[in-house]
Protein backbone atom coordinates (compact mmCIF):
# COMPACT_ATOMS: atom_id res chain seq x y z
CA UNK A 1 0.00 0.00 0.00
CA UNK A 2 1.31 3.41 -0.86
CA UNK A 3 0.61 6.71 -2.48
CA UNK A 4 0.96 7.61 -6.10
CA UNK A 5 -0.47 9.90 -8.73
CA UNK A 6 -3.66 8.88 -10.56
CA UNK A 7 -2.95 7.58 -14.05
CA UNK A 8 -5.69 9.71 -15.52
CA UNK A 9 -6.31 12.84 -13.49
CA UNK A 10 -3.00 13.29 -11.62
CA UNK A 11 -4.63 13.52 -8.22
CA UNK A 12 -2.85 11.88 -5.31
CA UNK A 13 -4.28 8.41 -4.94
CA UNK A 14 -4.19 5.64 -2.44
CA UNK A 15 -3.06 2.42 -4.01
CA UNK A 16 -3.33 -1.02 -2.55
CA UNK A 17 -2.22 -4.36 -3.96
CA UNK A 18 -4.64 -7.23 -3.62
CA UNK A 19 -4.32 -10.87 -4.60
CA UNK A 20 -4.39 -11.82 -8.27
CA UNK A 21 -2.12 -8.94 -9.22
CA UNK A 22 -4.67 -6.21 -9.06
CA UNK A 23 -4.15 -2.67 -7.78
CA UNK A 24 -7.08 -1.19 -5.95
CA UNK A 25 -6.99 2.53 -6.52
CA UNK A 26 -8.88 5.12 -4.57
CA UNK A 27 -8.80 8.47 -6.33
CA UNK A 28 -10.51 11.60 -4.98
CA UNK A 29 -11.71 12.43 -8.50
CA UNK A 30 -12.17 9.12 -10.35
CA UNK A 31 -13.30 7.20 -7.28
CA UNK A 32 -12.42 3.57 -6.93
CA UNK A 33 -11.09 1.62 -9.86
CA UNK A 34 -8.99 -1.48 -10.26
CA UNK A 35 -6.11 -2.12 -12.61
CA UNK A 36 -4.15 -5.31 -13.12
CA UNK A 37 -0.51 -4.66 -12.25
CA UNK A 38 0.85 -5.19 -15.76
CA UNK A 39 -1.83 -3.02 -17.30
CA UNK A 40 -1.08 -0.35 -14.70
CA UNK A 41 2.54 -0.30 -15.85
CA UNK A 42 1.49 -0.14 -19.51
CA UNK A 43 -0.74 2.82 -18.84
CA UNK A 44 1.77 4.61 -16.65
CA UNK A 45 4.74 4.04 -18.93
CA UNK A 46 3.15 4.58 -22.32
CA UNK A 47 -0.60 4.96 -22.75
CA UNK A 48 -1.08 7.80 -20.28
CA UNK A 49 1.66 9.86 -21.93
CA UNK A 50 -0.31 9.89 -25.17
CA UNK A 51 -3.63 10.86 -23.68
CA UNK A 52 -4.94 14.31 -24.32
CA UNK A 53 -6.35 16.39 -21.50
CA UNK A 54 -9.84 15.84 -22.80
CA UNK A 55 -9.39 12.07 -22.89
CA UNK A 56 -8.09 12.12 -19.34
CA UNK A 57 -11.11 14.10 -18.23
CA UNK A 58 -13.44 11.71 -20.05
CA UNK A 59 -11.82 8.64 -18.56
CA UNK A 60 -11.84 10.15 -15.11
CA UNK A 61 -15.54 10.97 -15.43
CA UNK A 62 -16.30 7.58 -16.88
CA UNK A 63 -14.54 5.77 -14.05
CA UNK A 64 -16.44 7.88 -11.57
CA UNK A 65 -19.69 6.68 -13.14
CA UNK A 66 -18.51 3.08 -13.22
CA UNK A 67 -17.12 2.55 -9.75
CA UNK A 68 -15.00 -0.53 -9.19
CA UNK A 69 -14.27 -1.04 -12.88
CA UNK A 70 -11.43 -3.45 -13.51
CA UNK A 71 -9.04 -2.26 -16.21
CA UNK A 72 -7.28 -5.19 -17.82
CA UNK A 73 -5.09 -5.65 -20.86
CA UNK A 74 -7.93 -7.24 -22.78
CA UNK A 75 -10.37 -4.40 -22.27
CA UNK A 76 -8.09 -1.42 -22.33
CA UNK A 77 -6.94 -1.55 -25.92
CA UNK A 78 -10.02 -2.79 -27.68
CA UNK A 79 -12.81 -1.00 -25.96
CA UNK A 80 -11.89 0.99 -22.93
CA UNK A 81 -10.65 4.18 -24.51
CA UNK A 82 -12.74 3.90 -27.64
CA UNK A 83 -16.02 3.58 -25.76
CA UNK A 84 -15.45 6.64 -23.64
CA UNK A 85 -18.18 9.05 -24.61
CA UNK A 86 -17.38 12.57 -25.75
CA UNK A 87 -17.34 15.12 -22.96
CA UNK A 88 -20.54 16.71 -21.83
CA UNK A 89 -18.67 19.90 -21.09
CA UNK A 90 -16.68 22.12 -23.41
CA UNK A 91 -12.93 22.41 -23.41
CA UNK A 92 -10.71 24.49 -25.63
Decide if 18 contacts 53 (C-beta within 8 A).
no
CA–CA gap between residue 62 and residue 56 (Å, rounded): 10
Figure out which of the listed residues 22, 23, 30, 35 binds Zn ion, where binding follows CB under 5 A: 30
**Nearest distance from C-beta of residue 20 to Zn ion, angstroms:** 22
Residue 71 beta carbon to Zn ion: minimum distance, rounded to whole angstroms = 12
User: Pick from 22, 23, 27, 71: which binds Zn ion (CB under 5 A)?
Assistant: 27
> Least distance to Zn ion from the beta carbon of 83, Å?
18
Instruction: Give the chain's length.
Output: 92
Backbone angles phi and psi of 39, in degrees to 5 = -70, -35
Amino acid sequence: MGYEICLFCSENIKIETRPFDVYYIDCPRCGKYHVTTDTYEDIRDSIAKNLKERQRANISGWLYENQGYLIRTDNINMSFFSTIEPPVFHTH
